Structure 1
C-alpha cells in the first residue's frame, strides 16, 4: 500500500464516522421535535392539533455523556382534532395559527427516552426580548449539572431552639 491509498482509506473512514454522527443528531432532533409537539398539544389543549411546520435552527453539544439539544421551530394548526391526531395523515389548515417554539433537551447518557426538557411555543406577537431572555435562562438552568446533596454525619444532629 502506498501513501495515497492510506490517505484515501483515512478520508473514507472519517467521512463514514461523520455520517454516523449526522444520523444520530438527526434521530435526536426528530425525537425532540416529536416530544415538543406532543407536549404542546397535550398541555395547551388546542381544539385542533398542531404539528411541526419548519425548523429555524438546531444546535447540539456534548456535555460529558449527555447531549444538549436546542431547537427553534414553528408549529402550525392542522385540520385534525387533538384527540384523533396522526401527524402523518393530518394536513395543515390553510389559514391555521402558527406558534414559534424554543425547546431545549438534555438527553442523559445518550438515551432517547425521557429527556429533561423545556418547551415554549407562543404566537409571533409574544416574541419579545424579555421572552427570549426567559427562554435562554430556562435552557441554561436545564443544562446545569445536577447538584448532589452532601450529608455530613453529625453536623446537624441537634436543632437549635429559638
Structure 2
C-alpha cells in the first residue's frame, strides 16, 4: 500500500512540475522578461515569506507598435512550501490551502533595447479582484500601452507622408 501511495505522490509531483514548466513555454522573450520582472517585484515585498509559483495564465498579450512592444499579462500565483529565497527549486510543492494571488501587469518596451518605457504591476490576493479593480487596472494599462518611445526607422516619414 505504501508503494502505491509513494508512486502516486511521485507521479503527481512530476505532473505539477511539468505543467508549470509548460505554462510559459509559448511565451515570447518579452513576455518571459515581463514574467520574471513581476515575480522579482512580488517576492521583494516584505510581507511575502514563502515562494510562489505561477499556477494559471489568465491573459497573455503582446502587440508590436511603432512606439515599442506592449505586453499585458494576468496570472495566478500559488503559495509553495519553500521560502521565497529558494522559490526556484524544483522540489517546492504547492500548499494545498495556501494563499493565491492575482497578478496583472503591463509593460511597454523600447525597440531593440531592454529599456522599459512604462510599466504597471499589481499583485493582490485573489479575493480583492473585483470589477472596480479590473476597470482601474485596464485604464492604467491603456496609459502604459499608449506610452511613446523610440520609433521604428521610417515610421515618422511614413506617418508624415500621408
**Common topology (TM > 0.5):** yes
Pair 111,94 (structure 1): closer, same or farther in 2 beyond 3 Å? farther
Deviates more, 1:45-54 or 1:105-114: 105-114
Q: Secondary structure at the match of 2:35?
A: helix
Deviates more, 1:83-92 or 1:128-137: 83-92
Displacement of 1:58: 0.7
Q: Deviations over 1:33-82 (max 9, x none)?
A: 11111111113531112121111121111121511011111111111112
- In structure 2, the partner of 1:91 is 93
- In structure 2, the partner of 1:68 is 70
- In structure 1, the partner of 2:118 is 116
Normalised to the residue count of structure 1, the TM-score between the two structures is 0.66
Q: How far apart, in 2, do the equivalents of 1:44 and 1:37 lie?
A: 14
Larger Rg over CA atoms: 1
- In structure 2, the partner of 1:48 is 50
Unaligned runs of 5+ in 2: 1-24, 150-162
Counterpart contact for 2:100–2:125, Cα < 8 Å: yes
Deviates more, 1:39-48 or 1:65-74: 39-48
Displacement of 1:87: 5.1
- In structure 1, the partner of 2:37 is 35
Counterpart contact for 2:38–2:105, Cα < 8 Å: yes
Query: Could you say what the CA RMSD is over the residues aligned between the two structures, in angstroms?
Result: 2.5
Displacement of 1:84: 3.0
Normalised to the residue count of structure 2, the TM-score between the two structures is 0.66
- In structure 2, the partner of 1:10 is none
Q: Figure out how many residues of one structure are paired with residues of the other and give that number.
A: 125
